[in-house]
């Protein structure tokens, strides 16, 4: 199976490294600057077991447009602000039998991709803690997991490699909602209080954090996908730890002045909450704060 990974950042680079190590046929579709670095230095990857560098096959959008080639599997790992550009870039790689596997936060991207690529889009989500450090991909914990919808056995076989905990689910929509509820709650907590998790709890914020969790999970339940008890307990354990230094990627992008996934994660959830008649005052408050920050940055 020929695999094209759109993006070689933290998520795409980490999963791509695992696939390369398992002998899969992997190519990365990246911007020209990243392509030059990967061709020059290779794909540098660090996880708790050590550091290694892989030779990486790369394409730029210009190269793919000039010499179109189709892939069996396209794994989309960009963040939401880059989605439209990524769709335009990857079109020449999608053929009649191509499966498009989006690994993005939230769910708004699914309708957009299905409108573009039709039934070849397969629901999926990933759980990984990784970052980029001077161009190198750093996976900070051993946890690296992908969940995909059923009905694509070739894709499942391709992704079933050491270092990736693969789950094939007959309710991938429910899994997507559970993850969305968690990442939204984490984003609300960190952006509203402008803090990692631990100091908020240490400062007496447990009631407010429990209310945040209840809000995001109430939206999921109203949408017909109640968060399973084990997922709720995992969320509560993670977000109520007074010793935790955890922050959300949304918060990290916000304080760094980078484009954020605020509308994709929080804005879309708030809109669905309104449609479903679910009150989300803490979500709404956070969204106003994040939007106000964006307006100020746009104003210089």
pLDDT of the residue at 174: 96
CA distance 34 to 13: 11
**Residue keyed to tokens 């096959």:** 57
Residue after which a domain boundary falls, among 118, 138, 169: 169
Note down the domain range covering 6: 2-169
pLDDT of the residue at 143: 87
What is the secondary structure of 12-45 as a DSSP string?
A: HHHHHHHHHHTT-EEEEE--HHHHHHHHHH-EEE
For 179, the 3-state DSSP assignment is helix
CA distance 213 to 240: 10
Residues 148, 191 within the same domain: no
CATH classification of the domain holding 229? 1.10.1040.10
What is the secondary structure of 197-230 as a DSSP string?
A: HHHHHHTT-HHHHHHHHHHHHHHHHHTT-PPPHH
CA distance 54 to 20: 8
Q: What does DSSP say about strands 43-47 and 124-133: parallel, antiparallel, or unpaired?
A: unpaired
Radius of gyration of the chain (CA): 19
For 3, the 3-state DSSP assignment is strand
Q: What are the residues whose beta carbons fall under 8 Å from the beta carbon of 130, sequence distance 6 or more?
A: 10, 11, 13, 14, 137, 138, 139, 140
pLDDT of the residue at 37: 97
Q: What are the residues whose beta carbons fall under 8 Å from the beta carbon of 300, sequence distance 6 or more?
A: none
Q: Please list the pLDDT of the chain residue by residue as tens digits (300 residues).
A: 999 999 999 999 999 999 999 999 999 999 999 999 999 999 999 999 999 999 999 999 999 999 999 999 999 999 999 999 999 999 999 999 999 999 999 999 999 999 999 999 999 999 998 889 999 999 988 889 999 999 899 999 999 999 999 999 999 999 999 999 999 999 999 999 999 999 999 999 999 999 999 999 999 999 999 999 999 999 999 999 999 999 998 999 999 988 899 999 999 999 999 999 999 999 999 999 999 999 988 887
Record the tokens describing residue 68, joined without a space: 């179109």
pTM summary value = 0.90
Q: What does DSSP say about strands 50-54 and 43-47: parallel, antiparallel, or unpaired?
A: antiparallel
Record the tokens describing residue 238, joined without a space: 């993670």
The number of folded domains in the chain is 2
CB 213 within 8 A of CB 232: yes
Residues 31, 164 within the same domain: yes
CB 104 within 8 A of CB 123: no
Residues 23, 147 within the same domain: yes
CB 152 within 8 A of CB 38: no
CATH classification of the domain holding 43? 3.40.50.720
pLDDT of the residue at 185: 98
Residue after which a domain boundary falls, among 141, 169, 197: 169
Residues 121, 263 within the same domain: no
Residues 179, 290 within the same domain: yes
Residues 221, 134 within the same domain: no
Residues 257, 277 within the same domain: yes
For 74, the 3-state DSSP assignment is strand
């Amino acid at each position: 199976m020929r695999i094209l990974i759109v993006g070689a950042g933290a998520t795409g680079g980490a999963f791509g490294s695992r696939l390369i190590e398992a002998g899969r046929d992997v190519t990365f579709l990246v911007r020209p600057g990243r392509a030059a670095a990967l061709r020059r230095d290779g794909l540098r990857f660090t996880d708790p077991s050590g550091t290694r560098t892989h030779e990486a096959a790369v394409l730029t959008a210009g190269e793919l447009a000039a010499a179109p080639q189709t892939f069996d599997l396209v794994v989309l790992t960009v963040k939401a602000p880059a989605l439209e550009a990524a769709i335009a870039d990857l079109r020449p790689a999608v053929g009649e039998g191509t499966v498009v596997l989006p690994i993005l936060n939230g769910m708004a991207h699914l309708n957009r991709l299905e409108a573009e690529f039709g039934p070849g889009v397969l629901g999926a989500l990933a759980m990984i803690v990784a970052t980029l450090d001077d161009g190198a991909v750093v996976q900070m914990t051993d946890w690296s997991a992908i969940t995909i919808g059923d009905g694509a056995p070739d894709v499942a076989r391709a992704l079933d490699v050491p270092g990736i905990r693969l789950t094939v689910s007959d309710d991938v929509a429910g899994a997507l909602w559970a993850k969305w509820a968690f990442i939204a709650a984490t984003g609300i907590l960190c952006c509203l209080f402008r803090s990692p998790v631990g100091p908020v709890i240490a400062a007496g914020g447990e009631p407010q954090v429990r209310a945040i969790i209840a809000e995001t999970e109430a939206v999921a339940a109203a949408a017909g996908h109640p968060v399973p008890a084990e997922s709720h307990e995992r969320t509560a354990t993670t977000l109520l730890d007074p010793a935790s230094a955890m922050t959300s990627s949304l918060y990290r992008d916000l304080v760094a002045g980078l484009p954020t996934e605020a509308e994709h994660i929080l804005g879309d959830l708030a809109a669905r909450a309104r449609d479903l008649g679910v009150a989300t005052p803490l979500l709404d408050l956070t969204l106003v704060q994040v939007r106000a920050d964006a307006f100020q940055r746009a104003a210089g």
